[in-house]
Structure 1
Protein backbone atom coordinates (compact mmCIF):
# COMPACT_ATOMS: atom_id res chain seq x y z
CA UNK A 1 0.00 0.00 0.00
CA UNK A 2 1.22 3.49 -0.85
CA UNK A 3 -0.10 6.82 0.41
CA UNK A 4 0.80 10.01 -1.44
CA UNK A 5 -0.16 13.60 -0.69
CA UNK A 6 0.00 16.14 -3.53
CA UNK A 7 0.21 19.59 -1.91
CA UNK A 8 -0.25 21.49 -5.18
CA UNK A 9 -3.71 19.96 -5.68
CA UNK A 10 -4.47 19.12 -2.01
CA UNK A 11 -5.14 15.51 -3.01
CA UNK A 12 -4.50 12.36 -1.00
CA UNK A 13 -3.96 9.24 -3.13
CA UNK A 14 -4.14 5.83 -1.44
CA UNK A 15 -3.01 2.93 -3.58
CA UNK A 16 -4.12 -0.31 -1.92
CA UNK A 17 -2.25 -2.45 -4.44
CA UNK A 18 -0.64 -2.05 -7.83
CA UNK A 19 -3.08 -2.93 -10.61
CA UNK A 20 -4.12 -1.79 -14.05
CA UNK A 21 -7.08 0.54 -13.58
CA UNK A 22 -10.10 -0.37 -15.70
CA UNK A 23 -12.28 2.54 -14.58
CA UNK A 24 -12.46 5.38 -12.12
CA UNK A 25 -15.77 6.00 -10.39
CA UNK A 26 -16.96 8.99 -8.38
CA UNK A 27 -17.82 8.06 -4.82
CA UNK A 28 -18.85 11.68 -4.27
CA UNK A 29 -17.92 15.04 -5.79
CA UNK A 30 -14.37 14.94 -4.40
CA UNK A 31 -13.64 11.23 -3.90
CA UNK A 32 -12.62 8.90 -6.73
CA UNK A 33 -12.28 5.12 -6.63
CA UNK A 34 -10.05 3.20 -9.06
CA UNK A 35 -11.38 -0.22 -10.06
CA UNK A 36 -9.25 -2.97 -11.61
CA UNK A 37 -10.18 -5.45 -14.35
CA UNK A 38 -11.61 -7.86 -11.76
CA UNK A 39 -13.92 -5.21 -10.30
CA UNK A 40 -11.86 -4.75 -7.14
CA UNK A 41 -10.94 -1.38 -5.60
CA UNK A 42 -7.23 -0.76 -6.06
CA UNK A 43 -6.93 2.95 -5.16
CA UNK A 44 -8.76 5.99 -3.86
CA UNK A 45 -8.18 9.72 -4.40
CA UNK A 46 -9.57 12.32 -2.01
CA UNK A 47 -9.54 15.90 -3.27
CA UNK A 48 -9.52 18.96 -0.95
CA UNK A 49 -8.28 16.63 1.76
CA UNK A 50 -7.00 19.40 4.06
CA UNK A 51 -10.58 20.63 4.40
CA UNK A 52 -12.17 17.18 4.60
CA UNK A 53 -9.72 15.44 6.95
CA UNK A 54 -7.03 16.22 9.49
CA UNK A 55 -4.16 15.45 7.11
CA UNK A 56 -1.63 17.34 9.25
CA UNK A 57 -1.97 14.61 11.89
CA UNK A 58 -1.82 11.63 9.52
CA UNK A 59 -0.16 8.57 11.00
CA UNK A 60 0.17 4.93 10.03
CA UNK A 61 0.23 1.97 12.35
CA UNK A 62 0.53 -1.65 11.32
CA UNK A 63 -1.26 -3.99 13.72
CA UNK A 64 0.03 -7.56 13.56
CA UNK A 65 -2.55 -10.24 12.97
CA UNK A 66 -3.02 -12.73 15.78
CA UNK A 67 -1.35 -16.10 15.31
CA UNK A 68 -4.37 -18.35 14.78
CA UNK A 69 -2.24 -21.51 14.74
CA UNK A 70 -1.68 -21.31 18.52
CA UNK A 71 -4.30 -23.04 20.65
Structure 2
Protein backbone atom coordinates (compact mmCIF):
# COMPACT_ATOMS: atom_id res chain seq x y z
CA UNK A 1 0.00 0.00 0.00
CA UNK A 2 1.22 3.48 -0.83
CA UNK A 3 -0.31 6.78 0.28
CA UNK A 4 0.52 9.98 -1.58
CA UNK A 5 -0.80 13.34 -0.42
CA UNK A 6 -1.32 16.25 -2.81
CA UNK A 7 -1.16 19.37 -0.62
CA UNK A 8 -2.72 21.80 -3.12
CA UNK A 9 -6.07 19.98 -2.98
CA UNK A 10 -5.54 18.15 0.34
CA UNK A 11 -6.03 14.89 -1.52
CA UNK A 12 -4.68 11.55 -0.34
CA UNK A 13 -4.32 8.99 -3.11
CA UNK A 14 -4.18 5.49 -1.62
CA UNK A 15 -2.84 2.73 -3.86
CA UNK A 16 -3.69 -0.80 -2.72
CA UNK A 17 -2.40 -2.73 -5.70
CA UNK A 18 0.68 -1.31 -7.43
CA UNK A 19 0.76 -4.12 -9.98
CA UNK A 20 -2.78 -3.52 -11.29
CA UNK A 21 -3.91 -1.40 -14.18
CA UNK A 22 -6.97 0.76 -13.55
CA UNK A 23 -9.79 0.01 -15.99
CA UNK A 24 -12.70 1.69 -14.20
CA UNK A 25 -13.17 4.67 -11.89
CA UNK A 26 -16.36 5.12 -9.88
CA UNK A 27 -17.48 8.26 -8.08
CA UNK A 28 -18.78 7.45 -4.60
CA UNK A 29 -19.59 11.11 -4.07
CA UNK A 30 -18.33 14.49 -5.28
CA UNK A 31 -14.92 14.07 -3.59
CA UNK A 32 -14.39 10.30 -3.40
CA UNK A 33 -13.19 8.11 -6.28
CA UNK A 34 -12.55 4.37 -6.29
CA UNK A 35 -10.47 2.73 -9.01
CA UNK A 36 -10.83 -0.92 -10.05
CA UNK A 37 -8.74 -3.30 -12.14
CA UNK A 38 -9.95 -5.74 -14.83
CA UNK A 39 -10.89 -8.31 -12.15
CA UNK A 40 -13.08 -5.74 -10.35
CA UNK A 41 -10.60 -5.56 -7.45
CA UNK A 42 -10.24 -2.15 -5.82
CA UNK A 43 -6.75 -0.86 -6.54
CA UNK A 44 -6.89 2.82 -5.49
CA UNK A 45 -8.90 5.37 -3.53
CA UNK A 46 -8.90 9.17 -3.89
CA UNK A 47 -10.25 11.42 -1.11
CA UNK A 48 -10.34 15.08 -2.10
CA UNK A 49 -10.42 17.80 0.61
CA UNK A 50 -9.66 15.16 3.25
CA UNK A 51 -8.98 17.38 6.27
CA UNK A 52 -12.10 19.44 5.69
CA UNK A 53 -14.27 16.35 5.32
CA UNK A 54 -12.82 14.54 8.32
CA UNK A 55 -12.42 17.70 10.44
CA UNK A 56 -8.87 16.76 11.41
CA UNK A 57 -5.80 19.03 11.50
CA UNK A 58 -3.23 16.42 10.45
CA UNK A 59 -2.74 12.85 9.27
CA UNK A 60 -0.62 10.17 10.87
CA UNK A 61 0.10 6.60 9.87
CA UNK A 62 1.05 3.62 11.98
CA UNK A 63 1.91 0.20 10.65
CA UNK A 64 0.94 -2.65 12.97
CA UNK A 65 2.72 -6.00 12.68
CA UNK A 66 0.51 -9.02 12.07
Is 1:12 the equivalent of 2:8? no
Structural RMSD (CA)? 1.3
Q: 1:7 offset after TM fit, Å? A: 0.9
Determine whether 1:45 maps to 2:54: no
**Aligned residue-pair number:** 64
Q: For 1:36 and 1:21, how far apart are their aligned partners in 2?
A: 5
- Deviation string 1:11-70 (CA, Å, 9 cap, x unpaired) is 1111111110011001111100000110000000001112012261x22222222xxxxx
| Superposed structure 1 runs of 4+ greater than 3 Å apart | none
Gaps of 5+ in 1: 66-71
Structure-1-length-normalised TM-score: 0.80
Instruction: Name the larger-Rg structure.
Output: 1
TM-score, length of structure 2 as denominator length? 0.85
* Consecutive unaligned residues in structure 2, runs of 5 or more: none
